[in-house]
Each structure stands twice: as C-alpha cells, then as structure tokens.
Amino acid sequence: MSKKYIVTSALPYANGILHIGHLAGSLLPADIFYRYLKFKGKDVIFICGDDEHGTPIEVAAQKEGKTPKEYCDKIHEERLKIFKKWNFSTFRWGTRWTRYSLWASLF
C-alpha cells in the first residue's frame, strides 16, 4: 500500500478578510509543501478551513446585520476568490457547516 499524505495549515479565524500574514505565514508554506509532494508523485490531499467559532464571529455578524452562518458564508466566498487570485493549489477549504460525510469520504 502506498503512503498517503494530508497537508493542512493553521485555521484562520473567519471574522474578517485574509491578510498577507495568513497567506505568507501558514497557507503559502502548506501550499508549497503540497505542490512539492504532488511533483514527487505522492498521493496527497490539501485540506483546511475557516475557524468559525467564538465571540468575534458573533460580533462581526451583528455589525453587518447577519447571522453568524450568513457572515461566515460571505467570508468563505471571499477567501475562495483570494485563493484563486493568488493561484493556490486546488484544495478543499471547508467550514464548520461542511458535512462530515464529505470530509470522511476523502479518506
């Protein structure tokens, strides 16, 4: 059986837009490592997601007149656009609303 790899990074908090620190500090190194493993022909998957729990989410959502889920959905879509713009590898970016069965099916 061949070795399988899972690459992930720190989960950025979903109370605002990603900034260069998120990208350079955790997401870019994980993306580079993922690409390296793919280049070497390894069986690898890159998964990560938003940390959508806590008071800052509630406060940010209230400021925009949204529910926490509505707010997090908006942030999630904005982040996907950033990943596309920065040419991040195709990977699975989840939220706490992502169904467990989706994640479990990956393994």
pTM attached to this predicted model: 0.77
Q: Considering the chain, what is the average pLDDT of its residues?
A: 84
Taking each helix axis from N to C end, the angle separating 68-85 and 55-63, rounded to the nearest 10 degrees, works out to: 90
Residue 18: phi and psi, rounded to 5, are -65, 145
The predicted model gives 32-56 an average pLDDT of 90
Is the pLDDT score of 8 beyond 80? yes
Q: How many CB atoms lie within 10 A of CB 102?
A: 10
In percent, the amount of the chain with pLDDT more than 90 equals: 30
Is residue 88's pLDDT more than 90? no
Q: Is 60 exceeded by the pLDDT of residue 104?
A: no
- Cβ-based neighbour number of residue 18 at 10 Å: 17
Q: Determine the pLDDT at residue 101.
A: 46
Report residue 35: phi and psi, to 5°: -65, -40
Q: Is 46 helix (H, G, I), strand (E, B) or coil?
A: strand
* Predicted local confidence at residue 2, as pLDDT: 82
